[in-house]
Chains A and B, each alone.
Chain A
Amino acid sequence: MAPREMTATLPAVRISRRSFVAGSAAGLFIMSLPRIAVARPSLDEALVGFSGGKPINDGRVKLDIPPLLENGNAVSVTVDVESPMTISDHVRRIAIFNEHNPQADVIVFNLGPRTGRARVATRIRLATSQTVVAIAELTDGTFWSSRASVIVTLAACIEE
Chain B
Amino acid sequence: MAARALIHVPKTAKKGEVIELRAMISHRMETGQRQGVNGEAIPRDIINRLTCTYEGVEVFSAELFPAVSANPFVSFYTVAVQSGVIVFTWIDDAGAKQVATAEITVS
**A interface residues (Cβ-Cβ under 8 A, vs B):** 35-36, 73-75, 98, 101-103, 105-112, 114-117, 119-126, 156-158
Measured in the bound complex, the distance between the Cα atoms of B72 and A121 in whole Å is 11
From B67, which residue of chain A is reached at the shortest CB distance?
Answer: A106
- CA of A157 to CA of B61 in the docked complex: distance in angstroms? 25
Q: Does B61 contact A124, Cβ atoms closer than 8 Å? A: no
Check if A107 sits within 8 Å of B68, measured CB to CB.
yes
Per-residue CB contact flags for chain B residues 14-46 toward chain A (1 = under 8 Å, else 0) read: 000011000000000001011000000100000
- Which residue of B60, B65, B78, B81 is within 8 Å of A106 (Cβ)? B65
Q: How far is the CB of A95 from chain B (nearest CB, A)?
A: 9
Asked if A73 meets B70 with Cβ closer than 8 Å, knowing A157-B33, A157-B34, the reply is yes
Say which residue of B34, B60, B74, B81 sits within 8 Å of A111 (CB atoms): B60
**B67 A103 Cβ-Cβ under 8 A:** yes
CB distance from B28 to the nearest CB of A (A): 10
Q: Which of A98, A122, A158 contacts B73 (CB 8 A)?
A: A122
B66 touches A110 (CB 8 A): no
User: Given contacts A102-B33, A114-B78, A157-B31, is CB(A75)–CB(B69) below 8 Å?
Assistant: yes
Judged by a CB distance under 8 angstroms, whether B57 is at the interface is yes
Given A114-B54, A116-B18, A158-B33, A125–B76 Cβ distance below 8 Å? no
B76 and A124 within 8 A (CB): no
Q: Are B72 and A115 in contact (CB under 8 A)?
A: no
Say yes or no: B62 contacts A116, CB within 8 Å: no
CA distance A35 to B31 in the complex (A): 13
- A115 touching B69, Cβ below 8 Å: no
Given contacts A114-B81, A115-B76, A108 and B68 within 8 Å (CB-CB): no
The smallest C-beta distance from A106 to any residue of chain B, in angstroms, reads 4
A119 near B77 (CB under 8 angstroms)?
yes
- State which of B31, B34, B60, B68 has its C-beta within 8 Å of the C-beta of A115: B60
A108 and B76 within 8 A (CB): no
CA of A74 to CA of B29, assembled, Å: 12
- Counting CB contacts under 8 A, is B9 at the interface? no
Contact of A122 with B72 at beta-carbon distance under 8 Å, contacts A103-B67, A115-B60 already known: yes
